[in-house]
Structure 1
């Protein structure tokens, strides 16, 4: 019972954070605190936050070795990943695989979150209050993906959703790679 209460409270906290962030962004736009960060650390932090919801899934991380630093607002990009991973945990059955991958392709960093669940989301997926399954027992109000889109676009990037090749959903985030500062020894 205590575990259930804890999980619901954590879910409610994410919901309230999404509502507050969306309200702030509506009022004054997206304000970013861009700095150079390791994508590995941002992904790791998002996965730690969702340890409980992801516990019944197989989670794979496929981050290319020697990924360059990315100039992003780490907390905002982490929020994007938390929303995508939380959706994957909610909408896929236990035991399915969720994969987070990243690579530098040309002048872009491509970050992907894929799952092997049922897939087949409706077209207005990134609209506020749009839900993957209308009238479902799955908690949420449909702000996570709309918030993710605003944050990614504020970074000069794009986010898209595609059905997986065989099943599931595939979210692709493309961010400008930029030119990381050189790390010279002191």
Structure 2
């Protein structure tokens, strides 16, 4: 006897997507209000960058499945002092934007390098790029990028990214890559990680 394949109800699926989008938008608005009012207490701990990047990718496993994701984090990258929950939000927002605004099959790259007193992290893609001349204004509240009518959101993702990065005494900017696509560059202070003494 053949197995019966149950197909998802399109209306139910659409309702779920809309509910998830609405919940995300409410969360963005609440986060932005808290960040602006200084009500967010950073819970900073020394930790590896790869863990928060990995957690972000796991959270976005479904939208990222349509893309080629390449992670290039040096093995000797030092520990960074940051709030893991907030920094995960930074990478989730950047990766989600990359997945939203680039066609299926596009390449998304996450890389980092040690520059002495700071760590530079990039999230790049080979999609259509940022609107020329609007690279800076995209970080303003309620500002969105390409294909605004076809992509859900209220334009708070990058504003939240900047607010969180600045709360960590860092900087973030967006630019178009010479070879095509967009690139977001985050710099965070390297600080002085604690010395870990191996147990004998």
Q: TM-score range by the shorter chain?
A: over 0.9
CA contact (8 A) 2:139 2:162 kept: yes
**What TM-score, normalized by structure 1, do the two folds share?**
0.93
Question: Structure 1 residue 112 and structure 2 residue 122: aligned?
Answer: yes
Verify the 8 A CA contact 2:130 2:146 in the aligned structure 1.
no
Mapping of 1:26-105 within 5 angstroms? 26-105=36-115
Unaligned runs of 5+ in 2: 1-9
Cα deviation for residue 172 of structure 1 reads: 0.3
Alignment gaps of 5+ in structure 1: none
Q: How much does 1:45 deviate?
A: 0.2
Residue of structure 2 aligned with 1:25, choices 18, 28, 35: 35
Number of aligned residue pairs:
186
Higher mean C-alpha deviation, range 134-143 or range 111-120: 134-143
Q: Which residue of 2 aligns with 1:158?
A: 171
Deviation at 1:20, TM superposition (A): 1.1
Tell me the distance in 2 between the aligned counterparts of 1:93 and 1:171: 18
Q: Which stretches of structure 1, 4 residues or longer, exceed 6 Å deviation after superposition?
A: none
Superimposed CA distance per residue, residues 49-104 of structure 1 (whole angstroms, 9 cap, x where no aligned partner): 00011110000001011211100011111101000000000000000000011121
Counterpart check, 1:128 vs 2:138: no
Structure 1 residue 27: deviation in Å?
2.5
Give the TM-score taking structure 2 as reference length: 0.87
Contact 2:117-2:189 within 8 A present in 1 as well: yes
**1:15, CA displacement in angstroms?**
2.4
Structure 1 residue 133 displacement after superposition: 2.9
- Asked whether the 8 Å contact 1:69–1:180 carries over to 2, the reply is yes
Computed over aligned residues only, the root mean square deviation of the Cα atoms, in angstroms, reads: 1.7
Distance 1:18 1:81 in 2: 14
1:24 is displaced (CA, Å) by 1.2
Task: For 1:101 and 1:21, locate their aligned partners in 2 and report how far apart those are by CA, in whole Å.
Answer: 26
